[in-house]
Structure 1
Amino acid sequence: GVNEGRFLIDQEAPGRRTGPRVEIVDLKKERGVIDIALQGPASREVLEHLLEPADRRTLAALDRTEFCELTADGHQLLVARTGYTGENLGYEIYVGGPSSVWLWEQLIEGGRPLGLLPCGLAARDSLRTEAGLPLYGQELVGPHNVDPFEAGFASYVKLHKPFFIGRAHCVSAYQSTTRTVVRFETEAGARRVQHDATVQDRNGTIIGRVTSCVSLGERQVGLALIDRPTLGPGDAITLLNPATGRAAESGLSRLSTGDRLPPLVRGVVLPRLRAREESRQFGTE
């Protein structure tokens, strides 16, 4: 409809039209393509075992967010140097349904000596939380309607471009941002921090809520949406899980002897994204 001019794309310039036509193809629906994510420091070495020398060179030259078409034993692969685990090296491999089982088995077999293991979305969620990457529905949009500027991903919204659909709204959101997503770490041995736990500053003022939290050894690492500019790396915070039972039903003003409140969890704000030094500390790089 936009290509045909049936919809208004800029209220301030009703006569504006789009440029060259764009065709979007749903590869999963049209060709039965699936995505297998191969992540981690050894991912290139694992994938190279399946490729001819020319394709190995192509893979080695691939930069972040770039993709290429490769062939492995006659199977066509679309390989992107992307991922959502926080690793410096990783690939997402798009392969047709009939070839997917073959590729999976080859990766598992060839990667076993290098420590490759199959894992699901829960593992991916732990890794992306540790790295500080937002998840759509939690640190992006979701119940709190978080925008990319609040999520710490402002660089992905190209405001320097003279026009794109929604640019005016994005500029307004950028200029009026009052919240930000921060990454935090709890003290060792703390009670598990739940989703939607409140975040308090050192004065006891509630400044936000936890959106994600995962266990990492003796500690927990999580993300929280807070008021800005409130905290920076190294600042102390206190986390309070949502109340349950009578405390949740009656409120603090009507609590009596014997009622129980969730214990406070102490933590500290970390740099927004995980650094390499931190990866070595936790043994995840």
Structure 2
Amino acid sequence: VYRRDTNKYLVVVNASNDAKDWAWLNAVREGKVMIDAQRPWIKTFGAGVTLRNLRDAKAGADMRVDIALQGPKSRDILLSLGCDETTLKKVKALKRTELCEVVIGGFDLVVSRTGYTGEKMAFELFVHPDKAPALWDAICKVGEPLGMKACGLGARDSLRTEAGLPLYGHEMGGEDNFSVSEAGFGSYVKIYKPWFIGRSAYIEKEKARSGIVARFRFTDKGVRMAHNGDPVMDAKGKVIGKVTSCAIDKEGYLTGQAFVETRSAVVNTPISIFQGAENLSLVAPATLETGDRISLPTPAVVVSRFPIS
């Protein structure tokens, strides 16, 4: 959620939840859904707010799509498009999570210093969809000499996994309905506030919560990839959770995230993971003979949720 002005906000949602989130926001605004089980008659503050879908052609010149420009040289590449001195100072003054609205390279942009890769220097550029192809081409042209490369969803997923960032359907929400705190971001939920939608349900779930998402790293290279749902075990062989994401890191090790018992989410805790467990056939140890092979869990260790640079 970006605050563009005193009463003007920009919300960027998970693409797979676009229709669902748009429907929910409108239903709350129109008072069509219950937002407090204890007081079913109440309506939320700000019911008169104006909602606009900036992907809809009805938004006209305000339509926006997002192009992410990430990495140590991202600011240099962005400013290489050309801008006046005032804009230069605005962009250079941006701190992490801040944004400004400027014209760079002839493009009308909302520039935010945010990203989904874990990079300290990173930007998201919100541009009109009609101008997006030209902006992409311009960035590629000025970025190539500086080593910029285009990357897709797989590369982004490996970067966000290594950075300890959650993805809806993996570390948040999804079939397991992981809450914000189970995802490791409970500090962002301010329960000291007297009321917000979902407050009571959140507090009740917190009372029974016994796990949290942790980041892990396999101790050896060249091991098999772990997949969502693969069981995680402690040093005694007890199943303590399951894998939610896994990717290769910059040093060539497989790293990932897993929902585990809270007491096992401590840095340097030894764990093991049964990769591809759902495809393994059950073999009774007593039936094994010399030369038989069986799959064993692979050792890993819990590491800091967010890499320390």
TM over 0.5: yes
* Aligned mates of 2:124, 2:102 — CA distance in 1: 13
User: 1:126-275 maps to which residues of 2 (within 5 A)?
Assistant: 126-195=158-227, 196-216=229-249, 217-243=251-277, 247-248=280-281, 250=282, 252=284, 256-257=288-289, 260-275=293-308
Q: Tell me which of 41, 57, 61 is aligned to 2:89.
A: 57
Would the aligned equivalents of 2:231 and 2:277 in 1 still touch at CA under 8 Å? no
The residue type paired with residue 44 of structure 1 is R
* 1:96 Cα deviation after fit: 1.2
Q: Percent identical across equivalent pairs?
A: 38
| Alignment match of 1:35 (pick from 52, 62, 66) | 66
Q: 1:57 to 1:201 in 2, by over 3 A?
A: same
How many correspondences in the alignment? 274
Q: Please, what is the CA RMSD of the aligned residues?
A: 2.2
| CA pair 255-243 structure 1, distance change in 2 beyond 3 A | farther
C-alpha distance in 1 between matches for 2:278 and 2:50: 51
Give the partner amino acid of 2:35: I
* TM-score of the superposed pair, with normalisation by structure 2: 0.81
1:54-79 alpha-carbon deviations (Å, 9 max, x no partner): 11111122232222211124321111
Aligned mates of 2:45, 2:124 — CA distance in 1: 30
Shift of 1:212: 0.9
- Contact 1:235-1:268 within 8 A present in 2 as well: yes
Structure 2 unmatched runs, 5+: 1-26
Deviation at 1:260, TM superposition (A): 4.2
Q: Which amino acid aligns with 1:41?
A: P
Distance of 1:130 and 1:13 partners within structure 2:
43
Shift of 1:4: 4.2
Give the conservation status (yes or no) of the 8 Å contact 2:226–2:273: no
Q: In structure 2, what is the equivalent of residue 114 of structure 1?
A: 146
Q: Structure 1 residue 224: deviation in Å?
A: 0.7
Counterpart amino acid of residue 145 in structure 2: P
